[in-house]
Amino acid sequence: MRKVSSVESKSAGIGKRIRRARLARKMTQESLSEMCGVNASYIGQIERGEKQPSLRTLTAVCRSLRVDLSSLIEGNADPPDAAVQELLAVVCGCPAEIVDIVTQHARIVVSTFQTLRPPAGPDGHSDTTDS
């Protein structure tokens, strides 16, 4: 019986996380492979842990899936909640220019919201009182 090396184990984990992120974004292996400039069968081999992608390919995968490289390698990122998944579904498959515009608008909305909303107290409620 052949013992699985730590590199093979790490590759399998990376592949599973890539697959999970791809499916969460409702992407096919073909669409991911086109965005990354690699063959779709190669994406399948990476996801199954059969191939170890180069740093260039991993970077392209991260950019395409909009995930951090460290989350693929270390696997310590929490899965996005439903609201984040919904937002990802909205921008999934959009050209990079549209994603950049949506990101800029999201930053403005968050900044405005934080400016207008009073800070929450220790109990999680705002410090406003009804007089």
CATH class for domain 1-78?
mainly alpha
Token look-up 């705002």 returns 126
User: DSSP state, 126?
Assistant: B
**Of 14-18, 65-69, 115-119, where does mean pLDDT reach its minimum?**
115-119
For residue 80, report the phi and psi dihedrals to the nearest 5 degrees: -65, 145
- The one-letter amino acid code at 40 reads A
Burial (CB < 10 A; 0-12, 13-18, 19+), residue 40, is: middle
Structure tokens at 118: 């009073």
Mean pLDDT confidence for 4-16: 76
Please give the pLDDT value at position 76: 59
For residue 118, report the phi and psi dihedrals to the nearest 5 degrees: -65, 150
Residue 5 pLDDT exceeds 80: no
Residue 122 pLDDT exceeds 70: no
Dihedral angle at the C-alpha atoms of 60, 93, 32, 88, nearest 10 degrees?
Answer: 80
pLDDT digits (tens, 9 = 90+) for 54-102: 999 999 999 999 888 888 887 755 556 667 777 777 777 788 888 889 8
31 near 93, Cβ under 8 Å? yes
Collapsing DSSP states into helix, strand and coil, what is residue 99?
helix
The residue among 80 and 19 whose pLDDT is bigger is 19
Cα–Cα distance measured from residue 67 to residue 4, given in angstroms and rounded to the nearest whole number:
27
Please give the pLDDT value at position 1: 54
Q: What is the pTM of this model?
A: 0.55
86: left (phi over 0), alpha (psi -120 to 50) or beta: alpha
Q: Domains of the chain: which residue ranges?
A: 1-78, 80-118
Structure tokens at 86: 């919904």
